[in-house]
Chains A and B, each alone.
Chain A
Amino acid sequence: MRESIVEMHCGEEVLLVGRHGALSHLPPAIRDAERGSVSLGRALASPENMRKLRRYWRLAFPSVAMSRCSDRDLARMAEAAVRNRRLHVALLRRTWPHQPPPRQPGRKAVSASAASSGGSANPLVGSGRHTLGKTGSVMLGDATDLTPTEMAAMVREDTERPGADPVTSWSMERRFLAVIRMAIEEVPSEMRNTMAALLSPDSIALMIGLMAVAAAANLTPFGWAADAVILGIAYAAGGMIAVHAAGNLFRCFVAVQNAQTKTDLEHAAELLAGAIVEIGVIGVMAILHRFSKGSEGDAGDMKAVEKPTRRSVEEQKVRRPKSSSSESQQVHKPPAKEQAPKKTEAASAEAGSGKFGYTVDKPPPDLEKNPGGVYGYTPKKGSQFDTEKGWPDWTDPEAVAKARATRLEYHQGLANEKAWVEAQRAAGKGEESIARELVDMRNKSRLSHYKPEELEKVYAKNLKDYGNPLGPSYESQLAKYGTPQAVIEAATRSNRTMDVLTGVAKVK
Chain B
Amino acid sequence: MNDVKEVLVADLDGGASVAVLDVESGIAHAGAVGGETPNGNMRVVLGNTVALYAEGEHLFLQIGGRRWDLADPATVISYGHDLNRKTTTLQVGDLRLEYPAWWRDDPAYDPFIPELDEDEDYLAYVYSVAQQPALQENLIKVWSAAATA
Contact = CB atoms under 8 A, between A and B. Distances in A.
**Are A and B genuine complex partners?**
yes
Interface of A: 320-323, 325, 328-329, 366, 382-386, 389-391, 402-403, 406-407, 410, 446, 449-451, 454, 457, 464-468, 471-473, 475-476, 478-483, 486, 489-490, 493-495, 498, 502
A489 B139 CA distance: 13
A406 B112 CA distance: 7
Interface in B50-86: 78-86
Given A407-B112, A454-B107, A483 B118 contact: no
Interface string B108-149: 111111111011100001000000000100110111000000
Given A320-B110, A480-B41, A473 B103 contact: no
A113 B83 CA distance: 71
A467 B109 CA distance: 21
Given A328-B83, A390-B83, A479-B12, A403 B142 contact: no
Given A383-B80, A449-B108, A464-B14, A498 B114 contact: yes
A308 B88 CA distance: 38
Given A406-B113, A475-B15, A323 B106 contact: yes
A322 B107 contact: yes
Nearest to B107: A454
Nearest to A463: B14
B68 to A, nearest CB: 17
B83 A467 contact: no
Contact of B125 (A382, A464, A480): A480
A476 B12 contact: yes
A323 B83 contact: yes
Contacts of A329: 84
B30 interface: no
A323 B10 contact: no
B4 interface: no
A502 B15 contact: no
A285 to B, nearest CB: 29
Nearest to A328: B83
A475 B105 CA distance: 26
Contacts of A410: 112-113, 115
A450 B111 contact: no
Contact of A382 (B12, B78, B120): B78
Given A321-B110, A479-B38, A498-B114, A389 B16 contact: no
Interface string B31-60: 000000010010000000000000000000
Contacts of A494: 115
Given A323-B103, A468-B15, 15 more contacts: A321-B111, A322-B109, A323-B104, A366-B78, A391-B111, A406-B112, A407-B112, A454-B107, A466-B14, A467-B14, A471-B119, A472-B119, A481-B138, A486-B138, A494-B115
B25 to A, nearest CB: 22
Contacts, number: 118
A482 B139 CA distance: 6
Contact of A450 (B84, B103, B108, B112): B108
A489 B137 CA distance: 14
Contacts of B85: 325, 390
Which 8 pairs between the two chains have the least Cβ-Cβ distance? A390-B83, A479-B10, A467-B15, A482-B142, A390-B84, A384-B80, A328-B83, A406-B112
Contacts of A464: 14
14 contacts: A323-B86, A323-B109, A384-B80, A389-B84, A390-B81, A406-B112, A446-B108, A450-B107, A465-B120, A476-B16, A479-B16, A482-B138, A482-B139, A495-B114
Nearest to A365: B131
Nearest to B114: A495
A483 B142 contact: yes
A328 B84 contact: yes
Contact of B84 (A322, A325, A483): A325
A471 B103 CA distance: 14
* Among A329, A383, A384, A457, residue most surrounded by chain B Cβ atoms (within 10 Å): A384
A481 B59 CA distance: 13
Contacts of B116: 446
Nearest to B15: A467
Given A407-B112, A450-B107, A389 B83 contact: yes
A413 to B, nearest CB: 9
Contacts of A466: 12, 14-15
* Among B104, B108, B112, B116, residue most surrounded by chain A Cβ atoms (within 10 Å): B112
Contacts of A446: 108, 116
Contacts of B112: 320-321, 402-403, 406-407, 410, 498, 502
Nearest to A410: B113
B115 A495 contact: yes
Contacts of B80: 383-386, 389
Contacts of A406: 110, 112-113
Nearest to B106: A323
A188 B73 CA distance: 69
Contacts of B109: 322-323
B98 to A, nearest CB: 12
Nearest to B91: A382
B103 A490 contact: no
Contact of B135 (A457, A472, A486): A486
B111 A465 contact: no
Contacts of A449: 108
Nearest to A327: B83
A430 B122 CA distance: 28
Nearest to B132: A493
Contacts of B139: 481-482, 486
A475 B17 CA distance: 10
A502 B79 CA distance: 20
A502 B118 CA distance: 20
* Among A402, A403, A481, A498, residue most surrounded by chain B Cβ atoms (within 10 Å): A481
